[in-house]
Structure formats: structure tokens, C-alpha cells
Structure 1
């Protein structure tokens, strides 16, 4: 949405504060909205142009499956940041790098599925598999072209900053790696970045001639690749779809339009976090299954097909990322969730676990506006300041950007950010990240601080609940972004009442877990519920 206004201090203040200026006057703004259908047009176009051999593999039956077998040894990666747990993750790697023993001339082999909770190593497994497959392709002189897609820009950059970039610093990569983003990158690993315009205008003709290339892009960006890389036989021999449970099925089909006839397709994701199950609200759209991701639909189909499809699915259940104090609440969403105790996180982590601070707190200075959003903003900043001070006292070197303040609404986020810059006492908190709940995917932090203030009217509930911290899928997505510490700030009674009032909301997809009741109960037991 674009809003064009004359740049006056009153207008800017009104937009931040709900059309109210300092002296209490309100200003009227007349807005007209034009609905853009281009996103859905792109989804429909992808489904239309997808080759028949791709469409058939997405509608498999028992005859579509054959045994999987390894065609090369998994020996190429020696990097510690590519190391996998031999007991759990290597099984998934073998599944991804295996070939079908009886490929069909009419369809790609059915996609293999890798699913599991946050921190279980799905992205690392995909990166390791891509590296092994690419190097084997070079050694065996076999054309190997891989496309890795994820839902968010932040997520695709993970593959460069955590994996292929560091490897390229240590050794020569015998294949090309190109991340296609919105803009050029002049910083670290800039040689691996390329804007889509540059790719189309300069590089696509060269890329098309390469036999060994790894391209990384978002789902929607990948559709533009079709115009410059399309061919009758497809282009990519392998397609890895990360965060596949977070996108609508047509969006997951977008990258597949460039698959070769025998392409290996991998779907990886977490179906317990925010996805189309809560984002698709239209009755007609839900009737035709648009609220079910491709990963979830195929998981159900494979289960119906039976044992012959079992080797095409790997479930991960071990968390490698979080401190043990943060495992209790995610267990509400995941069966058999385990913590990898052999890979314990650094003991010098500072405060850990969950905490709740009631927003009737006495921490609020008298000179602060007593209006509740500002009270809560103040308490959040006090908690952040206190946390940073403890870390400093413990001599733990922590980048402030590893701390994130999260709210459901941009308005409350603006209150908190404005207060941080308005008062010198909160200067230390200015360098932390500020993010709304709906822009948290693809990130992880040392600690997160949540403001639960949600000023919404009854007629706004349906549109708002998809990003509300009281939505169990949003709750799970947000709290699992923290490695060590989660602090929530809110009015105790209102938090419990609001959750009770929304238990039957359609966006819950029949999930009746009382997340915040469990959160508060846990804090009471542990003595971390403050100012009750």
C-alpha cells in the first residue's frame, strides 16, 4: 500500500498515533485502495505453465514410488558448519541425495519430504545435500543444476552467510553459486549476489551454458527465472524447497516449472508454524484447498498410499538450537520433541528461560504518559535495558541485534521505538531489532521481548488474528526464534481472558492449545511471573 501525503509534522504524527495529534485534535484522511491481483495472477500462471511431468509427480499413486538408492558416497564436506548428527540428520541427507531405482518416463519421481520442528537442522541438511550433489556432479562430469527456494529474503541469505560463503572463503568452489535478490549486495560475499534485473540483462545467457550451478532465490522471484532459463527439457536437475509448509501450494509450484523430467524435488518445512492454514481466510479458497500447503497435502497422500511411500519422508524431532529452558512450551505443538544434550549451548549465556512481567509494574517512571500502550512500551524497554546490563556485568559479548522486540502491531512497535529514542535512559536499547510478529520468519535471536498490547475492535478480529501473538501458530513461530530467553509483557487478566475469547477462532485451525495459560503457569512454577 502507498500513501501519498504532504510531508507535515502533523500528518506524520497522526499516521504514527492513529490520526491524533498532541493537543487531542483529530485529522481526517481520505484513502482509496486499489486491489492488485498480480500475486495471484503469478500463482495461477505457474500452475498453467508447469510441465505435465511435474504435475503428475505432485499427484502420485502407489505405482509412482520405487526404492531409493545412493549413487555416490557422502564424503565431500569437511566443514564443521556442515556437520550432521549421524543418528538423525544423515538419514535425511541420504534420502535427499538418493535416486529413484525405477524412474518413470512420464513424471518426475515423487518429491521427498523433510519435516520437523524449529532448530532441527532442515536448512543445514539442504545446504549439505546441495554441496555434496554439486561436487559429485563436477567430479562425475554430470550436468548438475540446483535451485534452492525459501519464502523470505532473510531465509535465502542464510544459505550464503552460514554455508556457501564461509566454504568459499576456505576453499575453491568448483561450481557457481548465485543468490538472486531484490538488490545488489556490495558487502560480504557480494560476488555471490545478483539482482534479478542484472541476472536477466547480463548473466542469464552465461548461466544457461553452465553445467554446474547453484541458484538461490525466493519462491516468487523464481518465477521470473522461467523467462530466461526455460527450455523444452527443463533446466534444474534438483529443486530444494525450504519453508515449504509456509507457502500456498501454487507458490511452491512456481520453482518447479523449471524442473527437468527426472528432477529430484525436496520439500522441507515445519507445519506447526505460520502458513496458509491461517493466512487463507476466504471460504471459497479454503473449499478448494488453498489453505493446505503442498508439503502437508503430500504428507497426507503418502500416508494414505502406505508403506511404499514411507522412505520418501523423514521426520526430525531433535532440537539443536535452543537452550533446554525453552523446550517446554514448544512441546505443546510437537510430538516427541527432544533436545540434543550432546550439543549443549554455551553455559555463559546470561539469563535463560521464560518470564512474564505484568504491565501494572511499578517500574514505570512518573513522567511517562500513563496511557497503557506507553506504559507497556516503557516496561519492555526497562526489561531490555536490564538484560543488556546483566550481559555486560557477566562480560558476555552480545551484539544488540541478537535481541529483538516483537509486537503484533506496527503501532505498538512504533511506540516502543519512539520511546527508546525519546529518553536517554533507553539509549542502549536503540540498537536492538524491532520487528512485528508477521515479519519474524527466517530470523533467530539470542533473546526476544514481547509486548502483548493489541488494540483491536471486534470487527477487526478476523483480519488481525492471522498475526496476533494469541494465535497459537504465531505464538509457536515467535517464541521458537529465541535461543536463550523469552520475556513477555502484558496485563495478566486481559491476556488470559483474550485467549479464552478467541479459542474458537477459525484461524486456529482446530488448535485449542491455551498457549498463554501454559506460558503463565510455567512462569508461576518457576518464579518468573513478576508484579502479579
Structure 2
């Protein structure tokens, strides 16, 4: 494992450096500011190049005699397509606006942490990373849980939840008793805080969030028991099933019921880590001294939600942060604990949320801090959605794009059998709190064995069922066929489709500018796989006064939800053969990307594309058939195969009478 992943990481790093060199700027004119030089970087807002606070930039100044003087600048602020650079005093004072050559450099720190984590795997037992059998341990908590509600009672109770399964005030809840626990950490022998918290703590055996559904409760019980440790436990959370809220409950249960527990919660991105921290804060069961949010040193304070800054101050000193009972960080930032010499086993529990979006070496960074014999590892995510972003095609082909979560769930121990998943290792959440049943039916059938059940708020998901533009009332899904033209500009490799861009803009106007109950622009999202199409649509929306509508790639929408989603597929070359899906559809031929795109909306999904091209892909073929059979297909003429299938179905129906 170590040599293989080490090689893949080097391939990824080489590709990242190669891509950055392509964005070098010759003869750039910088602006002098108060203590900084300001550089305009075209395409920066679209991630071309991808820069972060703290990145190093090389500025080259040609001198007489063919000599070139190099200066080093560091990115201190990023605003749209403008970058502020901290440079030495000599350059700042002497710069008179002359042209400089600019080269962007790759920040190796995250990769170095991945390499370090791979070294740590030498200490891991085989049943952590490559489990073939399950050896049960004695439970960490052996108390009795409150009696479960009957299915009828549970059905009534879940109406109190919102679309994400977040807790609403429960009626007739028993008044919980206060709980003061004198817990001593095994790792550092420091006592937990004995002050009271904002809410009274429920008695042992009761849930902090009384609105959890049976599958969520089962997952919490399994995590608290920890019988499978150190073999990872998987919380399989399809879209909108309340995965994060289940983790919050599990973290609170471990915090209050397991003496000496010390919890590390990691995610691949800052936004996901912030969300976990916000949910812990909103629970009302923790005080500030119990929780630390550890950020990378280069993260600017303005990008941190204000409500979290009290926890971030506790995380500024990494050594001090490590003494908190609950620590939240990104996977990469967890590498800072190695730098202060934190020993293996300091954390008793590691929760890895959005585990499907992290590369395996990235996941190993936090896992290396848990005890390899008795530590509890929880991986939460969805292997059916997008995996980690990998730049190197070679590294991706040899497995760097496969997350630890996805690899484990493909093994016999974690696979779904006729009896379902092994309940000791996997809990699959099946109640969807986000989408209308019409929008959920197809992804449930294609990716989740038809098991997803609707538990969403009817007032929200039914809000557009009678929109005047719907071809079939009560069926909030539209496929709008556009036999447009896919185009490129100059040498730019990104595609765009003017016809689809205009149609997307028209739908936005019809929704956001209608006289009766207009949809707020912030409730509409437009997904399109190509950056040039994103740019074209943004220009049109800006001219229409709808600049607040979010437009971006599938990757930018993963983990998010909107009332309305419009998907512009762009590709429209009907001449390409059916057996060359990659050339005909590009990004669209990825089932995971398809799954993410169609599971973002709550109340309305509109797909704009060329059905004669899209029908070549199995997922889009199923979507086209679904919309056509339900009278939700409009625009251009449908493909012959759809019409033929419809005629065959009609004939079969006639023969039954």
C-alpha cells in the first residue's frame, strides 16, 4: 500500500505543478497598495488557477545583461480575480509599475501530510484498512435505551422534522435531568468541564434529538457501543437523509456517555467542517470550552462564520486545542497534530464526514491519530456520489480517485447481501427529507435499490407542483429538449451552448419574476459541467438582474440543496458514434456526477439538453424515458427509440383489455 500510494501522490503533485505553470503570466502590471502588491489574475474566480491564502508566487524582473531577479510573494487576500501579495520591502519600495513575469507555485504541505500519514499505516492492524473478518469487542456503553415507538407513532413523529432531519421542539418530551460527569482523559489526564451547559442533558438511554428516525437511532446506538472497533463503521447516507445530524447525535452521545473519550471530527473541506461545528453549536448541549475548531494557519478570519470564531480562537494553538474533548478540522489540517508530536491513540474516536470525497491518503491523516487497537473509526458518506477530485488521469486510473469509504464498501465484509448490510458495520439511511417523490424516484431506483422513502415537508416540495409551465401538473420535473450547437472559443477547451444558456435564463426569469409568489434568486441553482457555459449563463443572468442565482459545476453543488435546480448539459454533437460516450458526453458520462446533479432540488428539476445525444448514456436514457412516459418532455422532437418504446407500451396496454 505504501509504495503504491506514494507513487500516486507524486504523480498527482507533478500534474498539479504542470497545470499551475500553464497559468504563468508574462509582463503582468501590478498595482502598489499599502504594504502589498495587487495582481489581477484572469480566470481566478473559476479556479483557473486554484490559489489559496499562503501560496507562494514568484515574481521575475528582467534586468540588464540578460539577468533576471526573482522575488517571492505570498498570497494574503483573494477577491474575485484580484490577489494581494506580501513582498519584501525592497521590491515594494522600488516597484514603479514595470511589467513582471509571474509564476504560481504548488503548495506541497497537504501532500507532505499525506505522505506522513502513509508512514503511519505501518502501525495499523490489518483489520483497520483491509478487514476480512469482524472480531467483536466489549461495548463502550452498556446502558438501556428508551423503548422504541411503534411504526405508527414514528410516522406521526417524523412530521416534526424539517427537510434535513434537523431537530424541532418536541412535544411531550420528558424533562431531562442535568448531568455532571467527572471524566478523565486517558491520553492527557485532564478533566472535562464541570460547568452546566445551555440545555439540560437527557438521561442516559435517551436521545438528544428526539426526532431521529429508526435507522438514524440504530446508527447512533452502534457507534456508541463501538463493538466493531477498530474496524471502521460506515454510515451510508444517500442525499438528503440526515447523515450529518446523525453524526451530531453520535458525537454528543460519545461525549456524555463514554468517560475519557476524546473526539476528532474531520471533513475534506472547510465548508463541511464548519457545518459540523455549527450543528454542534446549535445543539445547545456543549459549552465553548468543550469544542475547538482547528483551521489552517493560512485561512483568513473573514471566511470563518462569525458564530464559530469563539471555537476557532481555542483552536489557534494546536497543542491547546488537542486538550479539548471535541476537535473539528479538515483532514489536511489534522496533520498539524503530528507536528506537535501528538501520539497515536490520543483520540479515542475519529469521525470522518463526507468520507467519499477524500482520497485514501487524505483520510489516513486523521485516522493515524486514533488507537489502532481500541479506537473507534466512523466513516460517513455516500460512495454513489462524487469521489475525490484528482488532477492526474494516471493517478486516477490506478486508484487515487477511489476513497477509503468506496474501497471498503466494495469488499465482501461491507457489501450488501440478500439480507442487506451487516448491521454491525454499516447502517444505510433511507428516509429522504429533501425532495419531492417524483424527483426521488429515479435516483432511488438507479443508485439505492429503490429503498429511499420520502419524509420531506409537503409545503416545501409541493410548492411548484402547479406551476403554469409544468407540462404535467403534480409532476415537478421537466426535460426541455434543445438541439443546439456545442461551441468553443479559440483554443479554450471548455464547451458552451448558446441555445441552452438562453433557455436556462428564460426559465429563471419565469420563476424569479413571476407576479404571484416569485421564487427568490437564492433558491435557484444552475448546474452545468463546463466553465465556459457557467460564464455565458452568468452574463445572461446579470443582464436580467438575477446575478444572485448560483451557477457552477456539479462539484460545486455537492452537499448543497436548492428549491429549484436547472441542469444545462451542453453537449450536442449528434454525429459522434454511440460507442464513444466520452467524446460525445464528456463529463456527463459519469453516473456519480449524474446522481449528484439530479438529487440537489427540493421542489423542481429542469434538465435542458439534446435528447438525441443524451440518450446514448444509460442514466440519461432512464431519465428521458421517465420524463417522456409522464408527459414531462417538451421542446424538440424526442428520439425515435423513446417514441417506439411508448408505442410498444401502448400496444401492450391495449392487448390487456
1:79-98 to 2 correspondences below 5 Å = 79-80=167-168, 82-98=209-225
1:337 aligns to what SS in structure 2?
coil
| Aligned CA distance change for structure 1 residues 208 and 280 (closer, same or farther; 3 Å) | closer
Among candidates 203, 209, 215, match of residue 317 of structure 2: 203
2:214 aligns to what SS in structure 1?
coil
2:319 aligns to what SS in structure 1?
helix
2: CA distance between counterparts of 1:437 and 1:467? 13
2: CA distance between counterparts of 1:109 and 1:171? 27
Q: How far 1:144 sits from its partner (Å)?
A: 2.6
Greater gyration radius: 2
On the 8 A contact 2:564/2:602 being kept in 1, the answer is: yes
The structure richer in helix per residue is 1
Q: Are 2:533 and 1:445 equivalent residues in the alignment?
A: no
Aligned to 1:112: 233
On the 8 A contact 1:61/1:305 being kept in 2, the answer is: no
Q: How far 1:360 sits from its partner (Å)?
A: 5.5
After superposition, give the CA deviation of every residue in 1:485-508 in whole Å (9 maximum; x if it has no partner): 111222332333xxx2xx5xxxxx
1:64 aligns to what SS in structure 2?
coil
Q: How far 1:432 sits from its partner (Å)?
A: 1.2
2: CA distance between counterparts of 1:305 and 1:522? 27
| Aligned CA distance change for structure 1 residues 180 and 45 (closer, same or farther; 3 Å) | same
2:604 aligns to what SS in structure 1?
strand
Aligned to 1:509: none
Aligned to 1:176: 291
Q: Are 2:460 and 1:336 equivalent residues in the alignment?
A: no
Gaps of 5+ in 2: 1-19, 31-40, 49-100, 147-165, 170-208, 466-474, 485-494, 637-657
Q: How far 1:3 sits from its partner (Å)?
A: 3.9
1: CA distance between counterparts of 2:29 and 2:589? 36
Q: Are 2:505 and 1:381 equivalent residues in the alignment?
A: yes
Q: How far 1:172 sits from its partner (Å)?
A: 4.7
Among candidates 443, 464, 470, match of residue 350 of structure 1: 464
1:32-111 to 2 correspondences below 5 Å = 39-50=110-121, 52-53=123-124, 57-62=128-133, 64-66=135-137, 68=139, 70-72=141-143, 79-80=167-168, 82-100=209-227, 109-111=230-232
On the 8 A contact 2:432/2:456 being kept in 1, the answer is: no
Greater CA deviation, 64-73 or 255-264? 64-73
1:499-518 to 2 correspondences below 5 Å = 500=616, 514-518=618-622
2:301 aligns to what SS in structure 1?
coil
2:567 aligns to what SS in structure 1?
strand
1:110 aligns to what SS in structure 2?
coil
1:109-258 to 2 correspondences below 5 Å = 109-137=230-258, 142-161=259-278, 163-168=279-284, 172=287, 175-178=290-293, 180=295, 182-185=299-302, 187-192=305-310, 194=312, 199=315, 202-210=316-324, 212=325, 214-228=326-340, 230-258=341-369
On the 8 A contact 1:447/1:485 being kept in 2, the answer is: yes
1:194 aligns to what SS in structure 2?
helix
Larger RCO: 1 or 2 (CA < 8 Å, sep 6+): 1
2: CA distance between counterparts of 1:393 and 1:305? 48
On the 8 A contact 1:247/1:275 being kept in 2, the answer is: yes
| Aligned CA distance change for structure 1 residues 126 and 345 (closer, same or farther; 3 Å) | farther
TM-score normalized by the length of structure 2 = 0.61
Q: Name the count of aligned residue pairs.
A: 462
Q: How far 1:51 sits from its partner (Å)?
A: 6.3
After superposition, give the CA deviation of every residue in 1:455-494 in whole Å (9 maximum; x if it has no partner): 8999xx9999998233211010111121221112223323
TM-score normalized by the length of structure 1 = 0.74
Q: Are 2:25 and 1:4 equivalent residues in the alignment?
A: yes
2:226 aligns to what SS in structure 1?
strand
Q: Are 2:414 and 1:296 equivalent residues in the alignment?
A: no
Q: How far 1:337 sits from its partner (Å)?
A: 2.2
Q: How far 1:323 sits from its partner (Å)?
A: 1.3
Q: How far 1:348 sits from its partner (Å)?
A: 5.4
Aligned to 1:322: 435
Q: How far 1:157 sits from its partner (Å)?
A: 2.3
Q: How far 1:446 sits from its partner (Å)?
A: 1.5
Aligned to 1:479: 598
Q: How far 1:340 sits from its partner (Å)?
A: 3.2
2: CA distance between counterparts of 1:159 and 1:467? 34
Aligned to 2:98: none
| Aligned CA distance change for structure 1 residues 338 and 148 (closer, same or farther; 3 Å) | same
| Aligned CA distance change for structure 1 residues 45 and 320 (closer, same or farther; 3 Å) | same
Instruction: Quote the RMSD (CA, aligned, Å).
Output: 4.1
